[in-house]
């Protein structure tokens, strides 16, 4: 059963809240040109909602003088403090003990976090703002409206524990730091690793030639070790043949993650392959006809966004499966004349060995209770990205020129 849109007003803006993309008026998609960024395309948003019944998806449309000026995507996820893992495990264990002693939080209890952003992708994919709009005003108005919605909507009232707005790049902070005035606390987790492709790279060989000898030799060794692997792109027609194995391989990787807001359903791949046949890629890796890995990626404008991977770790080291995937991401981007690869979080050091550099992303979080929010702010101050060695694989004379 669809819940009707909920209207809300501020002194300047009007908001509508929806629980399904199918209920959002067509004019909203048209005016905001949502198809220009696939993360706001209704078919992408619908694919996520369709395959994640454990997450409540909501959508906010902001109007100015009855004209749509912004769209925000919201997910309400169940979060357990005990699910946090980290290379800084001693710190995490101390924090968990501290939390227990406060009795404001339980490490066993599930907390509902209302997240404005994309639970499954790193980057600014939560708020689509129309052209020539006051971004600072809109961010603040959205933040206030979302809190008001959570406090008044019957399905959410008394259920939401905390509010999160993610992931903002450094250039956005002069705008988004206004959220600090609304008692949000800002913090960083692992950075998004980014590779800007040189306009001179017409082939993968050009990319290798731009590397210093040490890293070029390392790349060639990884490619040699993975030479026995055969690959093919998964399509809609053969996805079901590999669906069970893909899910198992994905869980091998996701179970090692330090921090997950939600478990991704690999059934989503099938819908994305149907909805975006030219833009969504799922590439499979076989060892003697056995599926031992896969990568997934979205071509969005001039970017290649690395999404989820799956690996059979029994074979990873011997056949350099993950390294091969990273180099294949580079090759896919070059072949499609793209400008940039967003490798996402995790495994920062090995990603830097293929040329990626860290891009800090800021998350804003606040607890619904004022007292708990003060305590939460203290706890968050201890969360720091895990340090890693930044490799510099390119020759000094090779200045990367964006395409």
CA distance 66 to 140: 19
294-299 LR contacts (CB < 8 Å, sep 24+) = 294/234, 294/242, 294/246, 294/249, 294/250, 295/325, 295/328, 295/329, 296/269, 297/329, 297/332, 298/38, 298/272, 299/336, 299/338
Q: Are 195 and 339 in contact (CB under 8 A)?
A: no
**pLDDT (tens digit, 9 = 90+) per residue, 174-224?**
999 999 999 999 998 889 999 999 999 999 999 999 999 999 999 999 999
Exposed e or buried b per residue across 80-117, where buried means at least 16 C-beta atoms within 10 angstroms of its C-beta? ebeebebebeeebeebeeebeeeeebeeeeebbbbbbb
**Token pair recorded at residue 76:** 């309400």
Res 351: pLDDT: 97
Q: Is the pLDDT of residue 2 over 50?
A: no
**pLDDT (tens digit, 9 = 90+) per residue, 109-152?**
667 889 999 999 999 999 999 999 999 999 999 999 999 889 88
Of 216, 364, 234, which is closest to residue 286 (Cα–Cα)?
234
Res 263: pLDDT: 87
Res 8: pLDDT: 53
Order of strands, sheet of 230-233, starting from the edge strand that comes earlier in the sequence: 230-233, 280-287, 290-300, 303-311, 340-344, 192-196, 357-359
Average pLDDT of the chain?
A: 88
**Token pair recorded at residue 351:** 């990603």
pTM confidence score? 0.90
Res 25: pLDDT: 96
Of 305, 311, 310, 298, which is closest to residue 271 (Cα–Cα)?
298
Sorted by where each starts, the structural domains of the chain and their CATH numbers stand as 6-190+360-368 (3.40.630.30), 193-359 (3.40.630.30)
Alpha helices in 6-162 (DSSP H): 26-31, 42-50, 89-102, 135-152
CA distances from 281 to 238, 271, 309, 384 (A): 13, 12, 11, 33
**Token pair recorded at residue 2:** 């669809």
Q: Is the pLDDT of residue 335 over 70?
A: yes
Q: Are 115 and 77 in contact (CB under 8 A)?
A: yes
The burial of 370, by beta-carbon neighbours within 10 Å (0-12 exposed, 13-18 middle, 19 or more buried), is given as exposed
CA distance 296 to 310: 9
**pLDDT (tens digit, 9 = 90+) per residue, 51-76?**
999 999 999 999 999 999 999 999 99
């Amino acid at each position: 059963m669809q819940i009707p849109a909920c209207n809300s007003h501020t002194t300047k803006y009007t908001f509508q809240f929806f629980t399904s993309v199918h209920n959002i008026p067509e004019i909203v998609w048209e005016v905001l040109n949502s198809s220009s960024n696939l993360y706001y395309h209704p078919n992408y948003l619908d694919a996520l909602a369709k395959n994640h019944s454990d997450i409540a998806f909501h959508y906010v449309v902001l109007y100015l003088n009855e004209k749509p000026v912004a769209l925000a995507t919201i997910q309400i996820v169940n979060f357990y403090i005990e699910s946090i893992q980290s290379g800084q495990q001693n710190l995490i264990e101390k924090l968990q003990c501290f939390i227990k002693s406060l009795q404001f939080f339980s490490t066993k209890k599930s907390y509902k976090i209302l997240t404005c952003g994309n639970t499954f992708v790193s980057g600014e994919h939560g708020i689509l703002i129309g052209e020539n709009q006051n971004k600072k005003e809109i961010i603040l108005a959205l933040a206030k409206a979302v809190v008001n919605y959570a406090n008044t909507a019957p399905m959410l009232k008394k259920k939401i524990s905390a509010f999160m707005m993610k992931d903002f790049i450094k250039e956005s902070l002069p705008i988004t730091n206004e959220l600090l005035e609304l008692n949000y606390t800002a913090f960083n987790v692992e950075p998004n690793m980014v590779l800007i492709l040189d306009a001179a790279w017409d082939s993968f060989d050009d990319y290798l030639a731009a590397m210093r000898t040490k890293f070029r030799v390392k790349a060639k060794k990884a490619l040699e070790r993975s030479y026995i692997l055969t690959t093919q792109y998964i399509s809609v027609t053969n996805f079901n043949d590999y669906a069970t194995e893909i899910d198992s391989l994905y869980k091998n990787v996701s179970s090692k993650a330090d921090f997950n807001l939600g478990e991704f359903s690999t059934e989503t791949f099938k819908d994305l392959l149907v909805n975006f046949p030219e833009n969504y890629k799922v590439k499979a890796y076989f060892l003697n006809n056995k599926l031992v890995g896969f990568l997934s990626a979205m071509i969005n404008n001039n970017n290649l966004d690395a999404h989820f991977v799956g690996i059979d770790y029994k074979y990873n080291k011997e056949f350099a499966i993950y390294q091969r995937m990273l180099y294949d991401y580079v090759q896919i981007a070059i072949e499609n004349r793209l400008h940039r690869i967003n490798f996402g979080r995790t495994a920062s050091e090995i990603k830097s060995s293929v040329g990626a550099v860290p891009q800090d992303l800021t998350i804003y979080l606040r607890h619904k209770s004022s007292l708990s929010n003060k305590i939460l702010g203290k706890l968050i101050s201890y969360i720091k990205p895990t340090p890693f060695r930044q490799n510099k694989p390119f020759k000094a004379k090779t200045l990367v020129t964006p395409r």
